[in-house]
Structure 1
Amino acid sequence: MYPYPLVVFDLDGTLVDSGSDIAEALNRTLQDWQLPRVAEATVLTWIGDGVRRLVEQAFTAGGSRADLDVVMPGFMVHYRECLLRSPRLFDGVREALALLRGREVPLAICTNKPAALVQPLLEYLGIGQQFALVLGGDSLPQRKPSGEPLRHIAAQFGVATGDCLMVGDSLTDYRAAQDAGMPIALVRYGYPRGLDLDTADAVVVVDDLRALPGLRDGE
């Protein structure tokens, strides 16, 4: 029996390497407003708190106080256009998901990405059928780092949050798991943004999702 009755994954930075596409969408938006493009490495440090916060940080860094309610529709056009530009699954993701599903472990996604853009991305990458539930950043009034999305997901499956496993890469994921009382496994390859992986209170920190608890060495 697998040690966790439910595994909840973050999306961007955990399952999917989408940083360059998000950066391109953001930079096209900045160009629309005659602001300079931002290096992809910088954009990666802003990913995780939702698209509105992402755009806000970019405009603040560019010295602009543009009305986000005016800016966001244009950004969302670029975001949709860039969604399938060059995303890829991180190494080991496809195999890890297959192993978990082979053990009949329910899988869910908890992301701050707008819900309407999640399923098209999953389908494009060929993993759309792996998840029993997908929760986007606008699915509930709260989003990560609130623990409410994780509590909501656990309740949908009738399991206690403390029995589940969250898998993420960022400080936002970490804080959400802590708030929900859900154990978390962290990945080294994502967009950690100030999270000290060496001191974090995590079940495990992995370089490859195939090293998640219960999937390695016949555990």
Structure 2
Amino acid sequence: MMAIDAVIFDLDGTLVDSAADIAEAVNRLFDALQLPRVSEALVRGWIGDGVGALVTTALAHHGSAEPLQRAMPLFMAGYHACLLRSPRLYPGVLETLQALQQAGLPMAICTNKPADLVPPLLQHLGIAGFIAGIIGGGSLPQRKPHPAPLLASAAGLGVPVAQCLMVGDSATDHAAAMAAQMPVALVSYGYPRQLDLQAVPSLAVVDDLRQLLPLLLPAPAVG
């Protein structure tokens, strides 16, 4: 069992599958710019580095010369409108959060998703009560893979960095944890990524969050 006293989760691709809603927001941007819509599968590969990077990639895909400062408000209008359209928790997420809360491990969210969109999403999915802190895009000048968001998350929980576990799905999450010198576990589901899960250092790679529980919680007493 690892000496972990708190868990910091990425959001999109780790706890929540919101790719369909993000893809619809991208396509509403394309509608506004009179550009062709694209598939959800394509947009899934663009998610993870924040909305600025997402919109930049989307515009580049179509070779659009639309300035980012004009495209961003169009995208954000769609992002807000689509936020609660069809997000879902990945299998095992609710049970894992319940078990960690029952064991007294505080939990936080560290995401590049705009910070103001995180609370309504957590509330909609019924998991807001498990989360003690949120660091999102715009909370700090830096975003993952910079270590500052993870360091701020640990400080907010009042737990030393080395005793926090970062759980994510992407190269961005892994790089942030390495830079923060924070233990990291990776999920094998989530969004497409340029990351060989088996080739990078991590405490675990899991197919379901419930597989983390034996590593984090004491074994039940026998007899």
Alignment partner, residue 35 of structure 1: 35
Q: 1:3 Cα deviation (Å)?
A: 3.0
Check 1:125–1:200 CA distance in 2 against 1; reply closer, same or farther (3 A cut).
Answer: same
Greater CA drift, 209-218 or 11-20: 209-218
Is the 2:135–2:152 Cα contact (8 Å) retained in structure 1? no
Shift of 1:192: 4.4
* Residue 117 (structure 2) aligns with: 117
8 Å CA contact 1:11–1:110 kept in 2: the answer is: yes
2:83 paired residue number? 83
CA distance in 1, matches of 2:210, 2:66: 44
Residue by residue over 1:159-203, the C-alpha shift from the partner in whole angstroms, topping out at 9 and shown as x without a partner, is 221221000001110110011001111001111411101112110
Partner of 2:130: helix, strand, or coil?
A: coil
Q: Is the 8 A contact 1:114 1:136 kept in 2?
A: yes
SS in 2 for 1:136: strand
CA deviations 1:75-133 (Å, max 9, x no partner) are 11100111011000000000000000000100000000111110000000000111110
Q: Matched residues in 2 for 1:105 and 1:29: separation?
A: 40
Counting aligned pairs with the same residue, the percent is: 56
Report matched runs for 1:157-176 at 5 Å: 157-176=157-176
Gaps of 5+ in 2: none
Residue in 1 aligned with 2:148? 148
Contact persistence 1:2–1:105 (CA under 8 A): no
**Secondary structure at the residue paired with 1:112?**
strand
Match of 1:47 in 2: 47
The CA distance in 2 between the partners of 1:25 and 1:218, in whole Å, is 45
The CA deviation string for residues 138-157 of structure 1, in whole angstroms up to 9 with x for no partner, is 10000101011111111223
Match of 1:128 in 2: 128
Letter of the 1:26 partner, please give it: V
1:125 counterpart letter in structure 2: L
Is residue 207 of structure 1 aligned with residue 202 of structure 2? no
Contact 1:96 1:215 in 2 (8 A): no
Q: Deviations over 1:28-49 (max 9, x none)?
A: 1011101111211111111000
1:182 matches 2:182: yes
- Contact 2:21–2:83 (Cα < 8 Å) also in 1: yes
C-alpha separation between the residues in 2 aligned to 1:200 and 1:100? 26
- Secondary structure (helix, strand or coil) at the match of 1:150 reads helix
- Contact between 1:112 and 1:136, CA under 8 Å: does it hold in 2? yes
Cα distance in 2 for partners of 1:16, 1:81 equals 17
Tell me the equivalent position of 1:66: 66
CA drift of 1:214 comes to 2.4
Distance change in 2, residues 1:217/1:194 (3 Å): farther
Partner Cα separation in structure 2 for residue 217 and residue 21 of structure 1: 39
- What amino acid sits opposite 1:65 in the alignment? A
